[in-house]
């Protein structure tokens, strides 16, 4: 589904088309109205933000930790003026960001909607210098914020056991131990610097069949990226933060692309809606009498239809879940309460 977003080179204001995934159902779930304040916690190329701003006379707070996304928003800032406010930072810090914006713009720190599009964007994948993809060779980077350790630091510095655990835990890579062993052996003579170099080694270890749907290195690259950027931990923190800044009646809409992400969103929304699972004696007690703080809008997740998948193959794995904030006070959840594995090693 193509939004009204202009042609971009990946980030807002560029020259090549950006196709927001599940754009129409996202807009239906957010349901912006005149006077609303809505947070787009993963601004990216601004496709969702543009759609929301064009649907109603409202204000959008766009947040992104990627400096390229912030720089790319210049044209939209000129176009929409004060109706669009940009913040560089992680969506996991939504509460602090909204407190700051509310103070500077003199608006209510509680908002009418929060939209999150989780994971790496197609624009980041297309930029060789960012090192998220091995389709075109580039530096082994993978940092969302372009700050801190790189993926090269991980593969050149973690122990064999740590690398294997990362690949298995965050990528479901069945040959994680073989790959880890090969990485450690190779880096003794030459450290890894480029995506193509690492991808070639993984392909050699895993092997490639003619009917494989994905490249043999796909799961390993995904695992390194998720671990490096603490994407699962950031997601849970973001869900908790979104719940604190939403008004009663405010809507939380989350689009995820991987089962690990969707598992967190699903468990979070179900528990916040009062759907308490059967308790394990190994998990902290969850009070079944606690009033629900959310009502799930779509018990069955929304997925892309055939037409959207044909136009934008990335949408094939997308899952949209949405919930509306209720009056009850929110209880902050961690992975143990949600019945999830630890989000960090």
Mean local confidence (pLDDT), 227-245: 94
Residues 274 and 218 reside in one and the same domain:
no
141 with 131: CB under 8 angstroms? yes
230 with 93: CB under 8 angstroms? no
Categorize the per-residue pLDDT at 18 as very low, low, confident or very high, splitting at 50, 70 and 90.
low
CA distances, 318 to each of 76, 255, 258 (Å): 26, 6, 8
Answer whether residue 290 shows pLDDT above 80. no
Mean local confidence (pLDDT), 105-114: 95
Residues 104 and 192 reside in one and the same domain:
no
**∠ Cα 9 214 231 (to 5°):** 65
Boundary-marking domain end, from 175, 205, 228: 228
Q: How far apart are alpha carbons 172 and 239 in whole angstroms?
A: 24
Boundary-marking domain end, from 228, 255, 276: 228
Answer whether residue 210 shows pLDDT above 60. yes
Boundary-marking domain end, from 176, 206, 228: 228
Categorize the per-residue pLDDT at 14 as very low, low, confident or very high, splitting at 50, 70 and 90.
very low
Identify the CATH number of the domain in which residue 152 sits. Answer: 1.10.150.170
Residues 239 and 287 reside in one and the same domain:
yes
Categorize the per-residue pLDDT at 159 as very low, low, confident or very high, splitting at 50, 70 and 90.
very high
Q: How far apart are alpha carbons 338 and 4 in whole angstroms?
A: 37
| Residue 322 three-state SS | strand
Give the residue, 49 or 143, on which the prediction is more confident. 49
Categorize the per-residue pLDDT at 33 as very low, low, confident or very high, splitting at 50, 70 and 90.
very high
At 120-152, the pLDDT tens digits run: 655 545 554 554 566 678 889 888 877 889 999
pTM: 0.87
For the chain, what is the domain count? 2
Confidence at residue 148, expressed as pLDDT on a 0 to 100 scale? 86
Confidence at residue 7, expressed as pLDDT on a 0 to 100 scale? 37
Q: Is residue 15 part of a domain?
A: no
Confidence at residue 166, expressed as pLDDT on a 0 to 100 scale? 95
Residues 290 and 275 reside in one and the same domain:
yes
Q: How far apart are alpha carbons 275 and 323 in whole angstroms?
A: 13
Q: Is residue 16 part of a domain?
A: no
Categorize the per-residue pLDDT at 302 as very low, low, confident or very high, splitting at 50, 70 and 90.
very high
Q: Is residue 157 part of a domain?
A: yes
Mean pLDDT over the full length of the chain: 87
Confidence at residue 13, expressed as pLDDT on a 0 to 100 scale? 44
Q: Is residue 170 part of a domain?
A: yes
Residues 251 and 111 reside in one and the same domain:
yes
Residues 317 and 244 reside in one and the same domain:
yes
Please give the order of strands across the beta sheet that includes 111-117. Answer: 84-88, 59-64, 37-40, 111-117, 246-256, 319-325, 294-296
290 phi and psi angles, rounded to 5 deg = -65, 135
Categorize the per-residue pLDDT at 8 as very low, low, confident or very high, splitting at 50, 70 and 90.
very low
Q: Which residues are within 8 A (CB) of 221 and not within 5 positions of it... i.e. 6 or more apart?
A: 132, 133, 134, 142, 171, 195, 198, 199
CA distances, 166 to each of 88, 121, 208 (Å): 28, 21, 22
As given in the structure block, the two tokens for residue 135 are 């389709």
Could you give the percent of the chain with pLDDT greater than 70? Answer: 86
Q: How far apart are alpha carbons 72 and 171 in whole angstroms?
A: 31
Residues 114 and 246 reside in one and the same domain:
yes
Confidence at residue 19, expressed as pLDDT on a 0 to 100 scale? 72
At 254-281, the pLDDT tens digits run: 999 989 999 999 999 999 999 876 555 5
Mean local confidence (pLDDT), 246-258: 96
Residues 90 and 151 reside in one and the same domain:
no
Residues 63 and 190 reside in one and the same domain:
no
CA distances, 300 to each of 303, 309, 320, 323 (Å): 9, 19, 9, 12
Residues 117 and 266 reside in one and the same domain:
yes
- Calculate the CA 265 to chain-centre distance: 11
**What is the residue range of 57's domain?**
23-122+232-325
Categorize the per-residue pLDDT at 15 as very low, low, confident or very high, splitting at 50, 70 and 90.
very low
Residues 116 and 69 reside in one and the same domain:
yes
Residues 180 and 245 reside in one and the same domain:
no
As given in the structure block, the two tokens for residue 173 are 């890579």
Q: Is residue 141 part of a domain?
A: no
Mean local confidence (pLDDT), 198-218: 86
Environment class of 191 (CB within 10 Å of its CB; exposed 0-12, middle 13-18, buried 19+): middle
Q: Is residue 160 part of a domain?
A: yes
Query: Do the strands 111-117 and 294-296 form a parallel or antiparallel pair, or are they unpaired?
Result: unpaired
Mean local confidence (pLDDT), 215-235: 91
Identify the CATH number of the domain in which residue 282 sits. Answer: 3.40.50.150
């Amino acid at each position: 589904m193509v939004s009204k977003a202009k042609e971009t080179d990946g980030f807002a204001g560029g020259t090549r088309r950006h196709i927001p995934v599940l754009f129409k159902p996202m807009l239906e779930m957010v349901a912006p109205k005149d006077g609303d304040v809505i947070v787009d916690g993963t601004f990216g190329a601004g496709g969702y933000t543009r759609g929301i701003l064009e649907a109603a006379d409202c204000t959008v707070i766009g947040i992104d930790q990627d400096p390229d996304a912030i720089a790319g928003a210049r044209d939209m800032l000129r176009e929409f003026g004060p109706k669009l406010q940009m913040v560089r930072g992680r969506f996991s810090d939504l509460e602090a960001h909204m407190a700051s914006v509310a103070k500077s713009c003199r608006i209510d720190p509680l908002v009418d909607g929060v939209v999150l599009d989780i994971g790496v964007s197609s624009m980041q994948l297309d930029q060789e210098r960012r090192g998220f993809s091995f389709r075109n060779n580039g530096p082994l980077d993978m940092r969302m914020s372009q700050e801190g350790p790189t993926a090269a630091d991980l593969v050149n510095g973690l122990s064999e056991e740590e690398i294997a655990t990362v690949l298995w835990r965050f990528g479901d890579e069945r040959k994680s131990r073989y790959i880890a062993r090969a990485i450690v052996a190779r880096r003794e003579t030459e450290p890894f610097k480029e995506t193509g170099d690492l991808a070639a080694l993984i392909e050699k270890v895993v092997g490639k069949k003619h009917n494989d749907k994905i490249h043999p290195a796909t799961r390993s690259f995904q695992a390194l990226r998720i671990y490096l950027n603490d994407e699962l931990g950031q997601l849970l923190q973001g869900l908790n933060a979104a719940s604190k800044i939403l008004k009663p009646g405010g809507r939380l809409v989350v689009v995820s692309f991987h089962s690990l992400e969707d598992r967190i969103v699903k468990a979070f929304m179900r528990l916040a809606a009062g759907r308490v699972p059967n308790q394990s004696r190994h998990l902290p007690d969850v009070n079944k009498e606690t009033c629900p703080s959310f009502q799930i809008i779509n018990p069955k997740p929304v997925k892309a239809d055939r037409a959207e998948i044909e136009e934008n193959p990335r949408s094939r794995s997308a899952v949209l879940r949405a919930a509306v904030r209720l009056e009850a006070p929110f209880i902050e959840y961690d992975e143990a309460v949600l019945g999830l594995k630890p989000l960090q090693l």
